[in-house]
Amino acid sequence: MTQLVPGSGRGSAERRTATLETVAGGVYLTAMGPASGKSIVARGLVELLSRRVSRVGFYRPIVQALPDNDLELIRSRYQVPDERIGYAFTAAQRTDAGPAHRAGMGRIVERFKQIESASDFVVVEGTDFTGASSPIELEVNARIAEHLGLPIVAVVDGHRCSAAEIVERIVIGRDSFGDDAITAIIVNRVEATALEPLDDALARLDLDDPVWAIVEEPALRQPSLDQLRRALGAELVAGDPDDLTRPVGAIKVAAMTVPNLLDHVHDDTVLITPGDRADVIIAAAMTRASTASPGIAGVLVSGGLPPDPRVVALIDGMSSGGPTVPLLAVGTDTYDTAIAAHAVEGAITAGDQRKIDIALGHIEEHVDLRALEHRIEIGRSDVMTPVMFQYELIERARAARAHIVLPEGSDDRILRAADRIRRRQVCELTLLGNRDAVRERANGLGLQLDDVPVIDPLEHEWLDRFAQRYFELRGHRGITLQRAHDIMSDVSFFGTMMVHEGLADAMVSGAMHTTAHTIRAALEFVKTKPGTSIVSSVFLMLLSDRVLVYGDCAVNPDPNAEQLADIAISSADTAAMFGIEPRIAMLSYSTGASSGGADVDKVRTATERVRELRPDLKAEGPIQYDAAVDIDVARSKLPDSTVAGSATVFIFPDLNTGNNTYKAVQRSAGAVAVGPVLQGLNKPVNDLSRGATVTDVVNTIAITAIQVGADRVDPADRG
């Protein structure tokens, strides 16, 4: 984090506080010149807000044209409804009725008030400095911010600027807006070598406002292959569509022979060549399979000449499960294609998760978001949205500083999730698998995983050690040393032994293996926690306004009363681990004493057992689902209950009921189901669904890291 000036002057701070007290929740983000990277900072602010308040608004008084990328990105990523997002004018409209006219300013304020009334906090992003001089745009933004009554966060472009030039831009901007209006300054795209002289220059300036400097990140300026495809109107004629998210590092016209061409290509290079240059196309494809060459991102086939079908078939046949080089066909000739390709800008779009992660990770690294939150007075909402909860997961996981092993290093989802985890600095990772194959696959996907260790169990020195240890633990079960060696060659067993031996803190598996396979190793030698008789699971159900815990929905088919009580206690402890106050509903088809039967009696006995073992927990059962969640039903069926109508932990009587219920709620209520989260083991081992998405993997890794952090806390200190 780079905070150059903390802001310590008392006079203007007092005036700023007085101003903020009269303002509803909002902030005005403006640039102090063109090409500042304001849009990236805007997304960082919305991300910050979405972690704190449930109804984030986003407003652009003037957009350059429609559709506006910033509006579309925010609307898509954060599911912002129309009443909380919008604009007042396009650039073409502003000349007639824009902010220079009273009616135009009235429209800007009116539209803002509409969005403000539906929101808890509104991020207002100023103009783009396109087609007008900087002094005019500064004045326009100053006037809009004044009429909206919002504090200003100003963004300054520091790209290729000296410290003196950056300071000059700051001074001009502050003069335009007024000292009291600006609450913080962010200098974007600063060269690392300029940080120290900038620090010295700003110290002499003696500003009251904090100044944060974000170091230049070239990857954010790179277009993706998909952006290139859409901008050029190209057609994907070969290759994996998922590979189009790969960044474009350089664009080269392939006019040389192949041997000479190879001297001029690097990772993420896009080649432009006529469709009849089969030699270039085949050579480009071979770079994906060779460890002796940089991996070419893609080929733009120019001139309206599609590659020969035999060449396409040859390339497809080269794939051994890995991505083939994308071939994009365009109708323009090589010269015009090159000109158009070099003109494509690398905007961050809604579907570019890789670049979103880079941007957010970069902002988190260089801007003190908590200090910024305090200065613009963001209040915390009582409502917990899925975005807010997932942010809490990442933050708490990062604080745990865990080391997690991922045995399924050959799976694309695991690799993509590892890339996201690394960029957000969530935890330390180790991948298992064939080292060359994993590296080749990661490079083929355009992922930056060079600093993530890859261990091949078949070749690693730990294999003999682990086999000996497994033989010691399981020899009494008839396991021979040779059999132990064979078992430890399995990535799931190898990863679990890493956890058991303290070489990793936890393991996440299951994308390619069954739940039974993942759990088996853990049950054999990690074992259950003292006082816990059964391994079970929960799903964290992220509803629109709260988080619920469902268990057991993945492991135990038909638990008895003792096991059901164990599951309830473990689930309550898991809920508390994630900041959810546990109020346990022991579910059944009957509420209270309204009816009997073996199934109801099982739940009743389990409830009594929970109360006996853990009198500190609030538990109710047997209880029907509607009585557990609906306060009106609760008043009629269980008026004296402390759980009915407000349950947070739902314990299902069997796996059939639990699994179907969580999936029904997930689909019908649009809930985000995070899990399964395994509980009851001595050390955290978590299972993924084989249908898990990349986001599911990221969430599970974060949850596992939090479990690691919780296990490090003395039980007497957990409260």
Contact 158/191 with Cβ under 8 angstroms?
A: yes
Q: Is a pLDDT exceeding 90 seen at residue 485? A: yes
**In whole angstroms, what is the distance from residue 439 CA to residue 113 CA?**
52
- Polymer length in residues for the chain: 719
14, pLDDT greater than 60 = no
Gap between the terminal Cα atoms of the chain: 32
What's the whole-number mean pLDDT along residues 372-388? 67
Of all residues in the chain, the percent with pLDDT exceeding 70 is: 89
In 3-state terms, what secondary structure has residue 568?
helix
Residues 555, 676: contact at Cβ < 8 Å? yes
Please give the pLDDT value at position 383.
Answer: 64
Per-residue pLDDT at 202: 82
Select, from the ranges 203-217, 586-600, 612-626, the one with the highest average predicted confidence (pLDDT). Answer: 612-626
Q: Is the pLDDT confidence value at 98 over 60?
A: no
Q: Count other Cβ atoms within 10 Å, centred on residue 15.
A: 14
Contact by Cβ (8 Å): 91, 63 = yes
pLDDT tens-digit series, residues 603-660: 999 999 999 999 999 999 899 999 999 999 998 889 889 999 999 999 999 999 999 9
Average pLDDT estimate for 416-421: 92
pLDDT at 130: 62
Nearest Cα to 440, choosing from 287, 220, 602, 211?
Answer: 287
pLDDT at 323 over 80: no
Q: What proportion of the chain, given as a percentage, has pLDDT over 90?
A: 30
Residue 713 has pLDDT above 70, yes or no: no
Q: How do 211-215 and 3-5 pair as beta strands?
A: antiparallel
pLDDT at 192: 81
Confidence of residue 286 (pLDDT cuts 50, 70, 90): confident
Number of neighbours of residue 316 by Cβ within 10 angstroms? 12
Least confident of 150-164, 378-392, 458-472, 597-611: 378-392
The token duo for 478 is 């008839």
Q: What confidence score (pLDDT) does residue 565 get?
A: 95
pLDDT band at 379 (very low <50, low <70, confident <90, very high): low
Task: Determine the distance from the C-alpha atom of residue 623 to the mean position of all C-alpha atoms in its chain, rounded to a whole number.
Answer: 37
DSSP 218: G
Return the pLDDT at 140. 84
678 vs 516: CA distance, rounded Å: 12
* Beta strand 618-623 pairing with 672-679: unpaired
Separation of CA 608 from chain center: 41
Shortest CA distance to 367 belongs to which of 594, 214, 595, 498? Answer: 214
- Convert the pLDDT of each residue in 304-321 to its tens digit: 888 888 888 877 776 555
Instruction: State how far the Cα of 262 lies from the Cα of 92, in Å rounded to an integer.
Output: 47
pLDDT of residue 4: 52
pLDDT exceeds cutoff 70 at 19:
no
Which residue has tokens 């060659």?
489
Beta-carbon-side half-sphere exposure of residue 305 (alpha carbons within 13 Å): 14
Residue 208: pLDDT over 80: no
φ and ψ at 540, to 5 degrees? -90, 115
Q: In this predicted structure, what is the pLDDT of residue 403?
A: 96
Q: Hey, which of 296-305, 353-362, 545-554, 697-706 has the most confident mean pLDDT?
A: 697-706
* Summary mean pLDDT of the chain: 83
pLDDT at 351: 66
429 pairs with which residues across the strands?
404
pLDDT band at 531 (very low <50, low <70, confident <90, very high): confident
C-alpha to C-alpha distance for 532 and 574, rounded to whole angstroms: 13
What pLDDT is stored for residue 719 in this prediction?
Answer: 44
What is the arithmetic mean of pLDDT over 407-413?
A: 92
Whether residue 467 has pLDDT greater than 50:
yes
Range scoring the smallest mean pLDDT among 10-14, 51-55, 699-703: 10-14
The pLDDT value recorded for residue 373 is 73
pLDDT for the residue numbered 15? 30
Tokens of 506: 């936890």
Q: What is the pLDDT of residue 697?
A: 93
Q: Say whether 609 sits in a helix, a strand or coil.
A: helix
What is the rounded distance in angstroms from the CA atom of residue 70 to the CA atom of residue 359?
A: 14
pLDDT value for 381: 53
Flag whether the pTM goes above 0.85.
no
What pLDDT, on the 0 to 100 scale, is given for residue 238? 80
CA dihedral 410, 415, 416, 420 (to 10 degrees): 170
Dihedral (C-alpha) 455, 420, 539, 351: value to the nearest 10 degrees?
-140
Residue 291: pLDDT above 90? no
**Cβ burial, residue 197 (10 Å; 0-12/13-18/19+):** middle
Q: How far apart are CA 406 and CA 518, in angstroms?
A: 12
Look at residue 229 and tell me whether its pLDDT is greater than 80.
yes
Residue reference for tokens 């899925």: 386
